[in-house]
């Protein structure tokens, strides 16, 4: 992983989220211990990404997203499954993530995949929404 990978992740992230992360953040994260980045292609083009970090048997999903034009075709589910497989290979026994309680598509994705709420952080996001902390055993 190098600058090229960081640029790819930053570009894809901007196609998935309203608040993009700078390339430097991806550069730093991709070089961090326990971090794995995944890119999913559709029709030969990068269409989705995830970034996961495994520490002491627990894997956190740092970010996961599908480009706007490629949504609701099963790619999010594929990315989540691939992330879980990578996590298992990295020694994780549990997945954990945070999601805004207003993020209906993401909550649907995690619900269908068997994630359950283990905590809630009140007014955690800038828009005032709560973070739901979800987890699933691997
Ligand atoms: C969340 C996200 C990754 C889902 O990706 P996707 O490729 O559209 O998801 P999938 O097509 O694999 O759908 C997975 C499940 O969620 C459901 N779902 C997806 N979008 C939905 C929506 N807008 N409303 C209701 N359900 C939805 C699907 O019906 C599917 O359920 P099923 O298996 O029972 O059919 C995508 O919406 C996204 O990138 N959002 C912006 C970034 C983001 O919020 N990431 C999560 C941060 S925690």
| 32-65 pLDDT tens trace | 999 999 999 999 999 999 999 999 999 999 999 9
0.75 cut: is pTM over it? yes
Q: Are 16 and 67 in contact (CB under 8 A)?
A: yes
CA of 76 to the centre of ligand 1 (A): 6
Residue ranges covered by each domain of the chain: 3-137
- Report the distance separating Cα 42 and Cα 38, nearest Å: 13
Using alpha carbons, select from 29, 33, 49 the residue that is nearest to residue 41.
Answer: 49
Q: Name the maximum alpha-carbon separation found in the chain.
A: 41
In CATH terms, 3-137 corresponds, of 3.40.50.720, 3.10.129.10, 3.40.630.30, 3.40.50.620, to 3.40.630.30
Which residue among 47, 50, 72 is best mutated to probe the pocket of ligand 1, counting the most ligand atoms within 8 A of its Cβ? 72
- Residue ranges lining ligand 1, Cβ < 6 Å: 16-17, 64-66, 71-77, 99, 103-106, 108-109, 112
**Can you tell me the distance from the alpha carbon of 40 to that of 19, in angstroms, rounded to the nearest whole number?**
20
């Amino acid at each position: 992983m190098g600058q090229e990978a960081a640029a790819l992740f930053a570009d894809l992230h901007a196609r998935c989220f309203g608040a993009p992360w700078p390339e430097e953040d991806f550069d730093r994260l991709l070089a961090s211990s326990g971090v794995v980045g995944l890119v999913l292609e559709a029709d030969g083009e990068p269409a989705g990404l995830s970034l996961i970090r495994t520490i002491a048997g627990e894997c956190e999903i740092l970010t996961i997203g599908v480009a706007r034009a490629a949504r609701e075709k099963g790619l999010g589910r594929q990315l989540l499954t691939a992330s879980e497989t990578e996590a298992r290979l990295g020694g994780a026994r549990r997945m954990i993530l945070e999601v805004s309680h207003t993020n209906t598509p993401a909550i649907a994705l995690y619900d269908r995949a068997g994630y359950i709420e283990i905590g809630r952080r009140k007014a955690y996001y800038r828009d005032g929404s709560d973070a739901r902390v979800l987890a699933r055993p691997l």
